Structure 1
């Protein structure tokens, strides 16, 4: 099946939400409580929130899709000043992990941010998200910091990764 990576549209919102729910369950089960996952998904992936991000000209938002619909998505913006961008989100359906979909999505976001003058990207990764950490390290990102954060009322540790574009 051929996967196409393209800019997201409002029509992709249901597929993005479906991938978010599957990705969060696979990546964070055992890391974040079920109630925290539910709270974060409800807040950050409400249809209106996703549609606003997809249509925001300041956000580079991409989906990967094939004949089955959206199988992954990624978004980022040039929020950091000093030519530093931010990868806000990247998730792929768990049964599609290892197929290169995440790499293609990351490449699309990095390219879009480079076109906006960004030369480095930072991303926050939960310290216990081994899959995410391996993904970023394999793509040349380095862990440059660690911090405590609160997600849905739960305290956790995040790693700050940074990569060049």
Structure 2
């Protein structure tokens, strides 16, 4: 059952993401668009977040499976306790992926980031100077309108 968990819960999604996003990146390299670098950064961030959130859990489950199967002998009860704690900690990390993904899409996109910063400024949470500092060049004269209307 745990082999199925690894296969269906980690390796299959990782392969599907790698193939699909790889295809998208290849297509992006063939077009001439200033926004393609930002799209590639988002893709890399999403794949990186998946691996960082889910890999520790899958490694811990694999270690637990090997201990339960007798492949890795236990030397003490403390080792078993550490594995149990690590299972819980890494499971929380894995579940955090559900919260990380939308944040990545939202905050990497310039349009969302700029509107969020404007809302913070309008509610006097941040200063105008700080808002401009974090807008990352979208205040430039000619490209200002165009960059505010893009979501990536």
Fold agreement, TM-score > 0.5: no
Q: Write 1 or 2 for the structure with the bigger share of helix.
A: 2
Flag the structure with larger Rg: 2
Q: Which has the higher strand share?
A: 1
